[in-house]
Amino acid sequence: MLEHLVPALSALLEPARLAALFAGMLAGLVFGMLPGLGGVAAVSILLPFIYLFDSYAGLALLLGAISVIYTSDTITSVLVGAPGSPASAPTAIEGHALAREGKAATALGVGFLASMVGGLFGAVILSLAIPVAGPLVLALGTPELLMFAIVGLVFAAGMVGKDIAVGLAAAAFGILLGTIGAAPAAVDFRFTFGQPYLADGLSLTIVALGLFAVAEVVGMLASGGGISNERAPLGDWREGARAFVRHRWLVVRSALIGVFGGFVPAVGASASTWVAYGHAMRSAKDKSRFGKGEIRGVAAAEGANNATVISDLVPTLLFSVPGGPAAAVFLGALFSFGFYPGPRLVRENPELMYVIVWSVALASVAGALICFAITPLIARLTRIRFAIIAAPLLLIMVAGAYQATQSFGDIAMLLTLGVVGWLMKQADWPRAPVLVGFVLAKPMEQYFWLTVQIHGWAWLLRPGVLVIAALIVVPLLLRLAGLLRARRARAAAAATDGPALAPRKRERRVDTRIGLAFAWLVLLVFGYAAYETLGFAPDSRLLPTLAIVPGLALAAWIVVRDTRHALDEGVVRDPSAIAEIPFLATLLAYGLGVWLVGFDIATVVLLTWILLGCARMRLATGLAYAALILAGIHGMFALMRVSAPAGLLDFAILS
């Protein structure tokens, strides 16, 4: 097979094809940077344009975009703290924390290089794996896929942070979110309130944006005319290179995890990113910086997500079964060029295979280089008044969410989850476990149900399952041993120092009212879910029950604990959090406005308020800028072949 490497490269190096690859790459870079618009959006938007080219060039256009999305999303994640794509949420957590310490260049450098390595790894695996990966993909039966999901969840348990009750409750809440929609076992529609919008479950993009990005935008708006006070220096690129070299093996291991995740059909880049992040956490001796700016988290996440999207192509090309959502669109493109993936295509058209490999490899390297080049330009944007950036960012997020199903439900869900994300941020609940629980709930339930039906309980003894289970059990035992040792050491220390152990304290002084309100909210959600779950068929009850039972107990305990805490030590007030509430309310009002009067009118009002009210721009510049943003968003809608959301008023006028 390898004798086709060189002819395939020369086939790709034709000017028109290179130009297509480059164009796709540029589009991918832009879409990676725009929060909420990830790989699926980019390939869907590029899809109509592939027919302008010959087949290789058309595919190169899509591959160029797929290969760099998870490189450039690092920029937004680190500089703004809003994940550029759902799979870069760990980067947003760790990288943004680093950026706040003035180490943006370290996070970005590691992120870009890890992405590049992940991409190259994916390309190498793709070229090597095509002849041999068939048996491997087939070896992964439903029991093995189930075990993979469980490993992910157990790894994720390492992310719960200091306050274990809160972290576990958050994970349970995420699993509960993941059970919304059609149950795989019996055809129950769970927690859909009769809305067809919820029948498919929530969109990952919307959950990630709602939990992480909306809260950031609210914060930016609230700081209004403020400028990033310490002129957000990028820091030293060399430090990034050094950190990358220091963690090179972690990047390689994460890339391997990512490659493995890609082999599993229908498990997206998000799942393997979290598994890799969990791995980084487990393999680190000092876990204290995770969640507060740990470069290892960035290295693992970026190494994994790029490798996954590329190795998603392995099942796609070998079995016509897309490994992820972007690969599904790519598969459609292959069909329309008359290529029908499968062992036959691999055998009969090796040149095509290696054109794909080369496209991915070239784009991965070039994409990382371009990211290095443009970052200083983009970093300058962070010195602009926050509210000025927040305006287009918010609208791009709304457009990105709206592209999921193009119904008002997308916007309503984004804002609802935005409120949840904001409350969690203010109440100091970790948001990562929610996302992990959400991402893994569906495959876990689906594969559990299939496995038990097909294999009974004999699945537990399958060799593949045992190997994957060993990945959990062995580290768990090691950790247990470590904990016991630590406890003994602490006990010895306590004996000498006396009983002066301070009670565990939260990192930040959380406003008691917000903290309690959110704890009550979670308790009520679990309580209601428990009530509704009673009406489900027994087979649909399993996963919700697994989330609700611990969730309800933990939430009740947190409510009691925090109430007693407040009674004992008095109410803590956090004026900066309270000051953000009107801005959050305004976003909700904006959602209501879109529903009532449609996108355009509501957006003009919102932009006027943000630019003239919050950012205090001059009338003329403000209006010009608003017009520019509005035109840009409409350009995006046109590209996505989506019409801007209409309101009730528009419908009334039409009819």
Partner 1 sequence: MSVIDKRLAFGLAAACIALAGPAAAQDFYAGKRIQVIVPFSPGGATDVAARFLEKYLERHVPGNPDVEVVNRPGGGSVLGANWFAENAQPDGLTILFTTSSTSNPFVLGQEGVEYDLAAMRPGYSLPFGAVAYVSPTTGVTEATEVKDPDVPLIYGGIAAAASDLPGLLSFEVLGLDVKTVLGFPGRGPIRLAFERGETNFDYQFTPVYATQVVDMVAAGRATPLWTGGSVAEDGRLTGRDPAFPDLPSVYEVYTAMNDGAEPSGLAWDAFQAVGTATYNYGLTAFLPEGTPDEAIAAFEAAIPAINADAEFQTESAEVVGGYALIPPSEVEGPLLAALRPSPEIRAYLRDLLGTKYGVSF
Query: Is the Cβ of residue 342 or residue 613 nearer to partner 1 in the bound state?
Result: 342
Our measurement of the distance from residue 360's CA atom to the centroid of its chain's CA atoms, rounded to an integer in Å, reads 22
What is d(CA 453, CA 441) in angstroms, rounded to the nearest whole number?
A: 18
**Which residues in the 535-574 window bind partner 1 by CB under 8 A?**
537, 539
Give me the helices (H) in 458-537, please: 463-497, 512-533
Q: Identify the bridge partners of residue 190 per DSSP, sorted by sequence position.
A: 181
Using alpha carbons only, what angle is made at residue 447 by residues 441 and 453, rounded to the nearest 5 degrees?
Answer: 135
Asked if 319 touches partner 1 (CB under 8 A), the answer is yes
Residue 169, classed as helix, strand or coil, is helix
Query: Is the Cβ of residue 381 or residue 454 nearer to partner 1 in the bound state?
Result: 454
Tokens representing residue 286 in the block: 């000092």
Query: Is the Cβ of residue 262 or residue 315 nearer to partner 1 in the bound state?
Result: 315
Asked if 200 touches partner 1 (CB under 8 A), the answer is yes
Asked if 596 touches partner 1 (CB under 8 A), the answer is no
Which of 120, 331, 516, 525 is the binder for partner 1 (CB under 8 A)? 331
Asked if 639 touches partner 1 (CB under 8 A), the answer is no
Asked if 2 touches partner 1 (CB under 8 A), the answer is no
* Contact mark string toward partner 1, 515..534, x via CB under 8 A: --------------------
**From start to end of 96-224, where are the E strands?**
181-182, 189-190
Asked if 440 touches partner 1 (CB under 8 A), the answer is no
Asked if 343 touches partner 1 (CB under 8 A), the answer is yes
What is d(CA 315, CA 266) in angstroms, rounded to the nearest whole number?
A: 10
Asked if 416 touches partner 1 (CB under 8 A), the answer is no
Which of 30, 157, 165, 328 is the binder for partner 1 (CB under 8 A)? 328
What is d(CA 426, CA 34) in angstroms, rounded to the nearest whole number?
A: 25
Asked if 249 touches partner 1 (CB under 8 A), the answer is no
Asked if 52 touches partner 1 (CB under 8 A), the answer is no
Which of 114, 147, 214, 266 is the binder for partner 1 (CB under 8 A)? 266
The DSSP-derived string for 255-281 is HHHHHHHHHSTT--HHHHHHHHHHHHH
The count of chain residues that interact with partner 1, using the rule CB under 8 A, is 58
Cβ pair 42, 27 in contact under 8 A: yes
Minimum CB separation from partner 1 for residue 429, in Å? Answer: 30
Query: Is the Cβ of residue 315 or residue 591 nearer to partner 1 in the bound state?
Result: 315
Asked if 180 touches partner 1 (CB under 8 A), the answer is no
Asked if 302 touches partner 1 (CB under 8 A), the answer is no
Which of 129, 166, 404, 602 is the binder for partner 1 (CB under 8 A)? 404
Asked if 351 touches partner 1 (CB under 8 A), the answer is no
Minimum CB separation from partner 1 for residue 588, in Å? Answer: 23
Asked if 49 touches partner 1 (CB under 8 A), the answer is no
Query: Is the Cβ of residue 199 or residue 460 nearer to partner 1 in the bound state?
Result: 199
Pick the stretch among 321-329, 387-395, 508-516, 617-625 that binds partner 1 (CB under 8 A): 321-329
The total of other beta-carbon atoms located within 10 Å of residue 36's CB is 30
Query: Is the Cβ of residue 4 or residue 462 nearer to partner 1 in the bound state?
Result: 462
Pick the stretch among 153-161, 228-236, 246-254, 342-350 that binds partner 1 (CB under 8 A): 342-350
Asked if 199 touches partner 1 (CB under 8 A), the answer is yes
Residue 221, classed as helix, strand or coil, is helix
Our measurement of the distance from residue 51's CA atom to the centroid of its chain's CA atoms, rounded to an integer in Å, reads 31
The structure tokens 């703004």 sit at 80
Burial class (CB in 10 A: 0-12, 13-18, 19+), 650: middle
DSSP tag of 642: -
Asked if 320 touches partner 1 (CB under 8 A), the answer is yes
Beta strand pairing status for 189-190 and 181-182? antiparallel
Asked if 444 touches partner 1 (CB under 8 A), the answer is no
SS3 labels along 280-326: HHHHCCCCCCCCCCCHHHHHHHHHHHHHHHHHCHHHHHHHCCCCCHH
Asked if 457 touches partner 1 (CB under 8 A), the answer is no
Residue 571, classed as helix, strand or coil, is coil
Tokens representing residue 216 in the block: 């950031």
**Which residues in the 4-23 window bind partner 1 by CB under 8 A?**
none
What is d(CA 295, CA 110) in angstroms, rounded to the nearest whole number?
A: 8
Which of 102, 224, 342, 613 is the binder for partner 1 (CB under 8 A)? 342
Asked if 138 touches partner 1 (CB under 8 A), the answer is yes
Asked if 127 touches partner 1 (CB under 8 A), the answer is no
What is d(CA 600, CA 607) in angstroms, rounded to the nearest whole number?
A: 10
Asked if 285 touches partner 1 (CB under 8 A), the answer is no
Backbone angles phi, psi at 407, to 5 degrees: -125, 165
Angle between helices 575-597 and 599-608 (to 10 degrees): 150
**Residues at the contact surface with partner 1, assessed by CB under 8 A:** 40, 43-44, 47, 137-139, 141-142, 182, 184-189, 194-197, 199-200, 265-266, 315, 319-322, 325, 328-333, 335-336, 338, 340, 342-344, 404-407, 443, 446, 449-450, 453-455, 537, 539, 641-642
